[in-house]
A and B are shown apart, each in its own frame.
Chain A
Amino acid sequence: MSELRTDTITASDGTSAVTLTKQSAAKHWINMDAGQTINGSINTSSIVDNTTGDHAVNLANALSDIHYVVTGSNIGSVSGLDSGESFVSSGDINTTTKYEFKTRHNGGSYYDNGVNQLHLNGDLA
């Protein structure tokens, strides 16, 4: 059993990204409520409430391209309906520094749900 104690690991050239063998770390995740409060996250600069059920997340560090993957789920905000609200991911306005997503009520209309939880995987610039 060997153990390496260090605070920072960088590729051998001193600048390149470190390769994690056969795995990829998430480059962003967020737990945010519909009132636009960030409860927890990494790599987030700000969040935007576009309109009802329509949100944007601005990233602190840019992605290398727009073909990254965003997934998410939400917690409903109406008593008794929190088991039926759904999440719609929208890739139509994604950029290397921002992605947008929509949430809707179980009745199908766009709706600000209680808590939104999203994850992003891809490569940073």
Chain B
Amino acid sequence: MSSVKVDTLTGKTTAKTVNVTVGASVTQSLEQGLAKAFGSFAQNAYPDTGYTQDFAGETFNFSSITDISSGLINSAIINNTSATTYSAGCHTCYFGSTGTSNEMDGVYAKTTGGWKMSNTYANGSVRDANYTGILLHGSLA
């Protein structure tokens, strides 16, 4: 086992491209595999988790995550993406008397500086969720 201790890795040919071995022989750009933003947000309080209403938990590269109306969240990132063809995923959790329901969200109105997302309950209605996890993959500008 050997290790290299360094503070910054930079591609020799292209600054952002450092390829790493990720399988038996497959190499992949490290930059392409790393999430460029992640965060968690609660529009409604989530009991026993520490999430209060409109609370943002741990975040990375987000300047803001905002409750803009029922079931709708707006996000803004600090470092913009290079295009709007990035992949933004989020996942919603509803907590209630009948148990916890996990529903995937809609992501829309994407720009290189952020996007909006909607939380959809199991019956199809758009409503505030108790937890939304957010993840972005793609390239930064």
List residues 80-96 of chain A with CB under 8 A from any CB of chain B. 82-89
Chain B contacts for A26, CB-based, 8 A: 33-35, 137
Contact B85 A6 (CB under 8 A): no
Most central of B17, B24, B83 by chain A CB within 10 Å: B24
A85 is contacted by which of B91, B106, B137, B138 (Cβ under 8 Å)? B106
- Chain A: residues with Cβ within 8 Å of the partner, total of 55
Mask, A75-117, CB within 8 Å of B = 1, is 1100000111111110000000000000000111000010001
CB proximity of B82 to chain A, nearest CB, Å? 10
Contacts A25-B22, A84-B106 given; 7 further ones with Cβ under 8 A?
Answer: A4-B10, A8-B20, A12-B1, A12-B2, A17-B22, A31-B138, A86-B105
Q: What are some 21 contacts across the A-B interface (CB < 8 A)?
A: A3-B8, A3-B9, A4-B6, A4-B9, A7-B18, A11-B21, A16-B24, A25-B28, A26-B34, A31-B138, A41-B87, A73-B90, A73-B105, A74-B106, A83-B126, A84-B124, A86-B106, A108-B124, A119-B87, A124-B23, A124-B26
Interface, chain A (partner B; CB < 8 A) = 1-12, 15-18, 20, 25-27, 29-31, 39-43, 61-62, 64, 71-76, 82-89, 106-108, 113, 117-119, 123-125
